[in-house]
Amino acid sequence: MDETGLEPLAEGLWGTEHDHFMNGVVHFRGRMTVVRLESGGLLLHSVVPIDDALASELATLGPVEHIVAPNLLHHTHLAPAIERYPNATVWGVRGLAEKRSDVRFEKTLGDTAPTWAGELTPLQIAGIPWATETVFFHKATNSLVVTDLVFNVHDVQGWISPWVFRMAGAYRRFAQSRLLRRAIKDASAASSSVEEMLQWPIERVIMAHGRVVDRNAKAQLVEALEPMMQRPALASAS
């Protein structure tokens, strides 16, 4: 795996990426977003492998207080992170504790209001039980932090990976994967969640897979999510 060091994304926000090979073949990069809370502690969103070098960088920012698994798909590196940070509170979405019975979860997103919700507001995107994704709005920087809701994948390896992402409609563009849209079971609920999300004054989108979008971010997000919306008058949310 090829990990990168911490990259500043906005005030109080950092990211680090690692190489992921789905089924050992399809390559793309995965991002962990690091949030420094008002307490001075850190929240790790969608953890990646954390080696000693990365742990040392994190330690310069503050103690790790919370580890968040934001959907049912991003949990591969949870156990080692929890072992490294045994005093951190571990949050998971509904259903993840059953899926990963080997991992301890203190809190379930959606069941318990986080003490940090005033800084980093969570919202579950309903109607997609395959993912059960929770997105987060960082109020201090107007940044939206997502996992698999949208992609902006440009940097991949090999010839298979570009073909796979083109088939998904999410290669070298800010877009939503066709796979996620096909996984929607309750279109009305999903649409309502997205409309609620778009009420936030979003200026930046930080996704787990792909380049951060901080220019015309909300307009691009609206365009990317339009296929899953039930009401065409989406431009009013921008």
Q: What count of Cα atoms within 13 Å lies in the side-chain half-sphere of residue 62?
A: 18
22 is a domain residue: yes
- Give me the pLDDT at residue 229, please: 80
Tell me if 74 sits within 8 A of 208, measured CB to CB.
Answer: yes
- Give me the pLDDT at residue 154, please: 76
Q: Does 136 score more than 90 pLDDT?
A: yes
Sign of the torsion formed by the C-alpha atoms of 101, 137, 182 and 111? positive
pLDDT tens figures, 184-211: 999 999 999 999 999 999 999 999 988 9
Which structural domain range is residue 54 located in? Answer: 7-230
What percent of the chain stands above pLDDT 70?
Answer: 84
Other beta carbons less than 10 A from residue 118's beta carbon: 10
179 is a domain residue: yes
26 is a domain residue: yes
238 is a domain residue: no
pLDDT tens figures, 42-90: 999 999 999 999 999 999 999 999 999 999 998 989 999 999 999 999 9
Residue 234 binned pLDDT confidence (cut-offs 50, 70, 90): very low
Phi, psi of 60 (to 5 degrees): -70, -20
Q: Residue 197's domain is classified under what CATH number? A: 3.60.15.10
Q: Which residue has the higher pLDDT, 233 or 188?
A: 188
Q: Measured between alpha carbons, how far is 20 from 27 in angstroms, rounded to an integer?
A: 6
- Give me the pLDDT at residue 105, please: 95
237 is a domain residue: no
Residue 63, both tokens: 């103690």
157-175 in b/e burial notation, b at 16+ Cβ within 10 A? eeeebbebbeebbbbebbb
Which amino acid is residue 22, in one-letter code?
M
Q: Does 127 score more than 70 pLDDT?
A: yes
Q: What is the DSSP string of 24-74?
A: TTEEEEEEEEEEE-TTS-EEEES-----HHHHHHHHHH--EEEEEE-SSS-
Q: What is the mean pLDDT of the chain?
A: 88
Residue 23 binned pLDDT confidence (cut-offs 50, 70, 90): low
* Distant-in-sequence, close-in-space partners of 216: CB < 8 Å, separation ≥ 6: none
pTM score: 0.89
126 is a domain residue: yes
Q: Does 163 score more than 60 pLDDT?
A: no
Q: Which residue has the higher pLDDT, 117 or 3?
A: 117
Residue 41, both tokens: 């502690």
84 is a domain residue: yes
Mean pLDDT of 86-109: 95
| Number of folded domains that form the chain | 1
45 is a domain residue: yes
